[in-house]
Amino acid sequence: MNKSILLCMAFGCAFGSNFSDATLLLPQEETSEKIIPIDSVMIQGFGDKLLTAFYINNDNKTVWIEKTPTRKFLLSTLNICSDDGLDPQQFALDKLNLYEAAINTLADSKLVEYDILLTVKLQQYITQMSNGRLNPKVLYRDWDLKENKTDINRTLSGFATGDSLYEKVERLKPNHPMYKSLKKALQVINTYPDDTIKCIEIQKIISKNTLDAALIPIKQRLMYWKYLIDTTSVNEMYDDQTQKAIKKFQLHHGLYVDGVIGYRTVEALNFFKSRRREQILVNLERWKWFPRDLGRHYIILNIPDYNLYVVKNSDTIDTRRVVVGVLTRKTAVLSSTFNTIILNPTWTVPPTILEEDLLPAATKKRGYFASKNITIYDKKNNIVSAWHWNPEKYKNYRYVQTPGDNNSLGNVKFNFINRYSVYLHDTNHRDYFSKSSRSLSSGCVRVENPLPLAQYMLQDRYWTMERICEVIATKKTTTIPLKEKIDIHQLYWTAWMNRDGNMEFRQDIYNLDDELYEKLRN
């Protein structure tokens, strides 16, 4: 396609035929160090209030033409935007680089076009780097993250001063170590050759010291990802060296580390380089959505990794396994602040569980309520007998499970304000934490061994572990406000690079990666 057509598609027809490459290189004196007035009608023709405001603030004159070092640095920044997962095709780089190469021979009209085009693309860069290309609130109903506030034109004007340009550009980017590790992972995976190894198929689980033809592509795949050295014998024997490689692979993919080659391990092995690279790119996008300031003291939870981390003053001081929502009842992605801890919580059955679980079970057997220690209340807060309960009018009642070891929330609940009515809590199914795949709940997050975490968060000498256990023994619901501000971030990322320089990937339990990649590239 002709470049002038491409540019017209990107910018509309505001530049008209003046944008053709045929008239780009006109013999002129060297003009790269001058300021040129711009017709305000030309700028307004874009219909872009942000662009109009920027040039009004600069007296409708060119901004970048006279600032050669600044202009070149900003252009070089756009040229490496792919390092941060942005799509270079979005930034008209061919046209910008052509303008820059010929800048000393451009007519004034072309210098004006260059200045405006560079401004438009820098505004776009600031927007995408600050908040990502897409809006998660538009994409998902169960994501509730505040937009990272950025004054685009103020930032752009700051670039125009030319001072500390590198630092100003870097401040646009997420500063979390996980984002930086993703950038490194992208660099590393780009060095890998094309992946042409055939897909692995197994007929049965493969254990050590067995022969299986599938071990040939398995070993090839392990060598490709550098879990085995290239000199490894590629044969059908599952030997000790291959088992060690499989265990390391399982560790870096969030799988149960047993050295047994099962279907989940094969599924992870069958991800080609292109799929893993796409995973890295979508996670770079997500980290642009996440809060820039996570707080001084916070709990961060990675949903696909089934773990939460307690972080204070940038140090990770505790880790807990968690159970998160199943695919049909996803755990919400959000940021909030803890406000109370409740010992011996009651549990009010939420609408989804009421309709999909409780109603069918209780309709078949009225003794279900007693077996689950659930009390039925009418709209006047009167207790209703299970035998007088009307399943046809189930929405007219409130269903509350009394405190105790069999309560669905266990012995403790961690509250924070959110619009999904979700929280962290203990569980009466503590055996779930031994599973490698822990997408098992109805949306709220179950926390392993939560009482020490509760004591830590209370930050109060009165609330010793002994005192907490005494209150739990009474089975009396006790609400305790938190004295110290502790934020909570329930986030979703499926790729990163660990401190040892190994790429880590997790199963995309909510099937979000492929869909997001397609939206980013379309």
- The residues assigned a catalytic role are 425, 444
Q: How far apart are CA 40 and CA 52, in angstroms?
A: 8
Q: What are the E-state strand segments in 344-386?
A: 347-348, 374-377, 383-384
Residue 453 CB neighbours (<10 A): 21
**DSSP letters for 377-435:** E-TTS-EE-TTT--GGGGGG-EEEEPSSTTSTTTTEEEEE--TT---EE--S-GGGGGS
Residue 324 CB neighbours (<10 A): 27
Q: How far apart are CA 162 and CA 211, in angstroms?
A: 65
User: 425 near 410, Cβ under 8 Å?
Assistant: yes
- Closest by CA position to 492, among listed 512, 473, 472: 512
Indicate the helix (H) or strand (E) that contains 316.
Answer: strand 315-325
DSSP state of 194: P
Question: Which residue carries 């099937």 as its tokens?
Answer: 511
Which long-range contacts link 223-232 to residues 24+ away (Cβ below 8 Å)?
224/192, 224/195, 224/197, 225/249
Tell me the pairing of strands 297-302 and 307-312. antiparallel
Tell me the pairing of strands 439-441 and 333-343. unpaired
* 98 to 38, 92, 95, 103, 219: CA distances (angstroms): 21, 10, 5, 8, 47
Q: How far apart are CA 325 and CA 251, in angstroms?
A: 22
Q: What are phi and psi of 165, to 5 degrees?
A: -60, -40
HSE-up (13 A, CA, CB side) for residue 380: 2
- Closest by CA position to 376, among listed 355, 364, 357, 391: 391
Q: What are phi and psi of 347, to 5 degrees?
A: -130, 115
Kindly state the tokens that stand for 97. 């680089």
**DSSP letters for 122-183:** HHHHHHHHHH-SS-HHHH-TTEE-------HHHHHHHHHH-TTHHHHHHHHS--SHHHHHHH
Q: How far apart are CA 418 and CA 338, in angstroms?
A: 10
User: 312 near 372, Cβ under 8 Å?
Assistant: no
